[in-house]
Homo-oligomer: A and B are copies of this chain.
Amino acid sequence: MPSSLPPLDALPDEARQSVRTVSLDPGALICLEGDRCVSLPFVLSGEARVYRTSASGRGLTLYRIAPGESCILTASCLLSGHPFPAFAEAATPVEAALLPADVFVRTFAEVPALREHVFGLLARRLGAVIELVDAVAFLRVDERLARYLAENADTNGHLARTHEALAEALGTSREVVSRTLKEFERRGWVALARGSVTIQDASGLRNY
């Protein structure tokens, strides 16, 4: 049980014994819309993506799950009995610890560290999703793309994503992303290459 996560370490021994770890390849589906969740995943390494899809097949990322975090929608479903309202997939290779649903529900009330972990994450996600509503409702695609690049690039300004992947993140189409990025390139804000974007002028992008 290589849990090594504070909320899991705080579990009583018997509960810790029930934790299993899994490895997922990029693109592997973790949860489908309508699923009954059977365990609460804690991401140990890699990153997972939770998204919705439209009737016409477009996707929109709700949030990403980083190492140390767990899927709060799953926790919410387990405690409320509702089915999972979105899709979750591995965005990179993912290692995750799985806490069985019944053990989670039983220990949730008893273990303060677990409760606080779930509660804190839930509050943060709510805030993030509210920001997302705001952006989708009030900002143009180019503004949202500029913001997305600025927030998701690494320290060198580099971001390894295809236009298709960026479109899925923003809930728009690939062509719109291609056009917009080309415009950003013309303005000298980014450099484009196959499968990646590199920010050249972060302030231009941010002040947009």
Q: Do B122 and A122 touch across chains, with their CB atoms under 8 A apart?
A: yes
**Contact of A137 with B by CB under 8 A:** yes
B interface footprint on A13-54 (CB within 8 Å = 1, 0 otherwise):
000000000000000000000000000000000000000101
Q: Do A131 and B54 touch across chains, with their CB atoms under 8 A apart?
A: no
A65 to chain B, nearest CB (A): 14
Stretch at the interface among A55-63, A98-106, A154-162: A55-63
Q: Which residues of chain B are near A85, meaning CB under 8 Å?
A: 127, 130-131
B interface footprint on A65-83 (CB within 8 Å = 1, 0 otherwise):
0000000110010011010
User: A52 CA to B136 CA in the complex, in Å?
Assistant: 12
- Residue positions of A touching B, CB distance < 8 A: 52, 54-56, 58, 60, 62, 72-73, 76, 79-80, 82, 85-86, 109, 112, 115, 119-120, 122-127, 129-134, 136-138, 171
